């Protein structure tokens, strides 16, 4: 993707994410021969254009700052949270928050670099510096420092290209999915469809802000995922670019049933015997995946499906943790971070089965109480702060003591204090069934 393509596609993604335009409108804009920015100028109000422009600039600055370790990953996610939370309010507050995290000279260098790399225009530079004028009121001329050396032009342009939202049609034909007959919408981003044999499948669409790096990494795992043949695992069939919707999609087994999240939403909470039985099935799935050296990384209530006959449960979403982290952690209306362990927030590339144990323990907590651990926290930054301060989640009430012990051991903040194997946790649950 050329640097000229990065900005309009990011602007379109942000306009869609902020619900200034509908998803279908975004798809039509992508297919139109008319330039994206021309179409956005015609559709958005002056305030909306101002908002998406500022968010684009700030997001570009933050991405480079996080990639170069000027800010931590938790700080990066927290600042992104702030951006979208304040998108309809005082945008200056967001710029000020970034100014608090990055020194004025460094912030100026990053902005200048983005202009030099043609990611930002000179007008964009004037725009952002004017907004945070107080932070830049008297910036001294400084000699070249290690910060400048770290801002390697080619590497950073490559980073922004790879992580820019709104995918273009891949050159590699293996990445392009065949057409399916869409039957009905199941959720906002999932559809029931029919394949060429008229067999039902589920198609899960991914948000526009999925990077090509993650697309390639997930594609590499597809051959392994296809071998996960187990009665408690939702089968994975394919993953690639779906031209009709101009988005990446996961093709998987359609399971006629209800997710744990939906069931708890209907009944407020589940009985201990039912919750333990569901978790037992999910642990079956995780243990089978472990035989293939696969760590799930994203176990949560909307990935566990209770079959319509209520006789079993199936677990899906394997290996989607990095995609989920990249997309959903940036959204204030998503609760995925409630089920993440400390190590998943700090070092998502270094997780093991103990992270899955935390995820499934947090899901069990949700089933028994009707809300996730640390439900009072508003975003991932506050969750991470609670972990670092070693705060415990609210006590479970009205639950047998032996069940509470299992939950508490599974969701220990220190992974060395949790169950060390999936088998050990399942063994304790089996004694109560």
Higher pLDDT, residue 151 or 319: 319
CA–CA separation, 240 and 249 (whole Å): 6
CA–CA separation, 304 and 281 (whole Å): 9
- Going by pLDDT thresholds of 50, 70 and 90, the confidence category of residue 296 is very high
**Residues 375-424: pLDDT tens digits?**
998 877 788 889 999 999 999 999 999 999 999 999 999 999 999 999 99
Highest mean pLDDT among 69-73, 135-139, 389-393: 389-393
Question: Over pLDDT 90: what percentage of the chain?
Answer: 35
Looking up tokens 């399916």 gives: 180
For the full predicted model, state whether its pTM sits above 0.75. no
**Residues 322-335: pLDDT tens digits?**
565 555 544 444 67
User: 268 to each of 227, 311, 397, how far by Cα in Å?
Assistant: 36, 21, 14
433 contacts 277 by C-beta, under 8 angstroms? yes
User: 357 to each of 2, 39, 349, 363, 412, how far by Cα in Å?
Assistant: 42, 47, 16, 10, 10
* 3-state secondary structure labels for all residues of the chain: CCHHHHHHHHHHHHHHHCCCCCHHHHHHHHHCCCCHHHHHHHHCCHHHHHHHHHHHHHHHHHHHHHHCCCCCHHHHHHHHHHHHHCCCCCHHHHHHHHHHHCCHHHHHHHHHHHHHCCCCCHHHHHHHHHHCHHHHCCCCCCCCCHHHHHCCHHHHHHHHHHHCCCCCCCCCHHHECCCCEEEEEEECCEEEEECCCCCEEEEEECCCCCCHHHHHHHHHHHHHHCCCCCCCECCEEEEEEECCCCEEEEEEECCCEEEHHHHHHHHCCCCHHHHHHHHHHHHHHHHHHHCCCCCCCCCCHHHEEEECCCCCEEECCCCCHHHHHHHHCCCCCCCHHHHCCHHHHHCHHHCCHHHHHHHHHHHHHHHHHCCCCCCCCCCHHHHHHHHHCCCCCCCCCCCCHHHHHHHHHHCCCCHHHCCCCHHHHHHHHHCCC
pLDDT at 313: 97
**Residues 201-250: pLDDT tens digits?**
999 887 655 666 777 777 877 878 888 899 999 999 988 888 777 778 88
- Going by pLDDT thresholds of 50, 70 and 90, the confidence category of residue 3 is very low
Domains with residue ranges and CATH for the chain: 3-163 (no CATH), 174-253 (3.30.200.20), 257-430 (1.10.510.10)
């Amino acid at each position: 993707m050329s640097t000229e393509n990065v900005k309009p596609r990011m602007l379109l993604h942000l306009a869609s994410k902020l619900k200034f335009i509908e998803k279908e409108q975004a798809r039509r804009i992508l297919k139109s021969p008319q330039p994206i920015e021309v179409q956005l100028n015609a559709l958005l109000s002056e305030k909306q254009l101002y908002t998406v422009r500022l968010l684009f600039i700030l997001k570009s600055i933050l991405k480079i700052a996080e990639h170069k370790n000027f800010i931590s990953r938790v700080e990066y996610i927290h600042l992104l949270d702030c951006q979208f939370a304040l998108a309809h309010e005082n945008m200056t507050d967001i710029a000020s928050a970034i100014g608090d995290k990055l020194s004025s000279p460094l912030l100026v260098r990053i902005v200048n670099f983005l202009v030099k790399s043609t990611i930002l225009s000179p007008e964009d530079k004037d725009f952002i510096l004017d907004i945070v004028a107080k932070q830049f009121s008297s910036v001294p001329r400084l000699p070249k420092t290690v910060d400048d050396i770290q801002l390697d032009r080619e590497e950073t342009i490559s980073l922004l290209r790879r992580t820019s939202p709104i995918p273009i049609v891949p050159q590699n034909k293996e990445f392009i999915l065949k057409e399916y007959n869409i039957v009905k919408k199941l959720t906002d981003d999932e559809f029931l469809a029919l394949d060429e044999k008229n067999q039902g499948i589920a198609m899960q669409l991914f948000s526009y802000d999925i990077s090509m790096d993650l697309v390639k990494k997930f594609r590499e795992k597809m051959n392994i995922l296809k071998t996960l043949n187990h009665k408690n695992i939702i089968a994975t069939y394919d993953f690639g670019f779906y031209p009709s919707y101009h988005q990446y999609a996961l093709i998987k087994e359609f399971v006629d049933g209800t997710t744990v999240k939906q069931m708890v939403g209907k009944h407020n909470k589940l009985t201990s015997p039912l919750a333990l039985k569901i978790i037992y099935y999910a642990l079956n799935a995780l243990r089978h995946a472990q035989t293939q050296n696969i760590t799930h990384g994203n176990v949560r209530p909307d990935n566990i499906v209770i079959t319509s006959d209520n006789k079993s449960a199936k677990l899906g979403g394997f290996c989607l943790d990095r995609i989920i982290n990249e997309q959903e952690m940036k959204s204030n209306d998503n609760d995925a971070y409630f089920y993440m362990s400390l190590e998943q927030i700090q070092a998502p590339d270094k997780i093991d089965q103990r992270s899955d144990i935390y995820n499934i323990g947090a899901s069990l907590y949700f089933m028994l109480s009707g809300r996730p651990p640390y439900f009072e926290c508003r975003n991932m930054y506050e969750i991470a702060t609670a972990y670092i301060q070693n705060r415990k989640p609210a006590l479970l009430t009205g639950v047998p003591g032996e069940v509470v012990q299992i939950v508490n051991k599974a969701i220990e903040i220190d992974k060395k204090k949790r169950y060390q194997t999936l088998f050990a946790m399942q063994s304790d649950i089996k004694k109560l069934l």
